[in-house]
Chain A
């Protein structure tokens, strides 16, 4: 169960438009759980069909959970992690 005030980090907004692939892999996390992030700060890097894309923090706050670890696959609507807004 997730608390409602926690905002999901999703890759849907940065998913390249010209790509049919629905699965991606997290390549690098740049923040660890407990870090305060700024809105827009790149929190992780994902790879879709060999294209690397940074995923920005949707809001400012504390990264409270990483739900998709490095080298793990995920799909467009999965939450990669959660931020508790400041």
Chain B
């Protein structure tokens, strides 16, 4: 082959394409990897999560399933227990309730209850998040529910680069991984993404380890801990706040289980001020967990704390009402100002 000069400019990918690239690579490398879910074959995933995979791998490895989450998630768990590496997509995370016994009693507990002799190397992918008026049963961001129950790793990408590296790691992991992608970040034509999630993505495979939070913006005054869509909203708030001389550090957790407490604590050691932002419900969730962890470990260094999350109400359908409950850039800005005052 002719000697190629390295590209000065990497191609950019949307988050969905970055995920699909990782899945395609792993399917080519390992015959045990397959994908199943509702509308993942002919439709390519309603949020483009499997676009093009059917054409390359055929119906034995990219399977549309009937609308019965218990049945097909149970089938995926069984296949994983027997050594295959299924990726099973729950179209909307909101539908987990139908299949929760398979998810948290079987998928999450098999390794423990078999004394470590039966692994469940599967990936459960699911779309999360609102901001497009899909009402209370299609708009939730239930990171906390899965992170609360032991036995599952929980991963949430915010950029195409992270999405690819985390997906490679998820498929290769021998434990069940819940991989939650925010619809608004996927880069779909009918649901424009904010600036930010489309990034340069290397063509070769690479792995981003779980439990490695990423300091996506360095700052000295306040630490904003967040994930998913709200990483980008935090950037926007940070830009405005910078004009007023408030220097915000933005930490993207990238995974909730395992949780990288080290990176958070290090940042708090520097700033002493913490704002936790997410799109899950406020009570008994991610924001409370992060604040509690920091309080346990660094109480003396903590000067002020704020939480920004969805109040404990179902996500409203009406646009102005949904906009009201889902944390926006102004909410983050206000919280940062309040811990600085």
Contacts and interface: CB of A to CB of B under 8 A. Distances in A.
Interface stretch (A3-11, A15-23, A26-34, A73-81): A26-34
A29 B189 contact: no
Nearest to B51: A52
B184 interface: no
Contacts of A28: 12, 14, 187, 189, 198
B9 interface: yes
Contact of B12 (A31, A41, A50): A31
Interface in B1-42: 7-14
Contacts of B198: 28
B267 to A, nearest CB: 32
A72 to B, nearest CB: 13
A36 B189 contact: no
A29 B12 contact: yes
A28 B8 CA distance: 20
Contacts of A41: 11
Interface residues of A, number: 16
A30 B13 contact: yes
Nearest to B5: A36
Contacts of A71: 192
Most buried by B among A27, A28, A29, A32: A28
A47 B189 CA distance: 7
B9 A31 contact: yes
A34 B192 CA distance: 25
A34 B8 contact: yes
Contact of B189 (A27, A31, A32, A34): A27
Interface string A43-86: 00101001010000000000000000001000000000000000
Interface in B127-158: none
Contact of A35 (B11, B13, B188, B192): B11
Contacts of B190: 47, 50
Contacts of B187: 27-28
A25 B189 CA distance: 9
Given A27-B189, A52-B189, A36 B7 contact: yes
A45 B11 CA distance: 13
A45 B189 contact: yes
Contacts of A50: 189-190
A35 B189 contact: no
A57 B8 CA distance: 18
A30 B189 contact: no
A16 to B, nearest CB: 14
What are the 7 closest A-B residue pairs judged by CB atoms, nearest first?
Answer: A47-B189, A35-B9, A27-B189, A52-B189, A30-B11, A34-B9, A30-B12
28 contacts: A27-B187, A27-B189, A28-B12, A28-B14, A28-B187, A28-B189, A28-B198, A29-B12, A30-B11, A30-B12, A30-B13, A31-B9, A31-B11, A32-B9, A32-B12, A35-B7, A35-B8, A35-B9, A35-B10, A35-B11, A41-B11, A45-B14, A47-B189, A47-B190, A50-B189, A52-B188, A52-B189, A71-B192
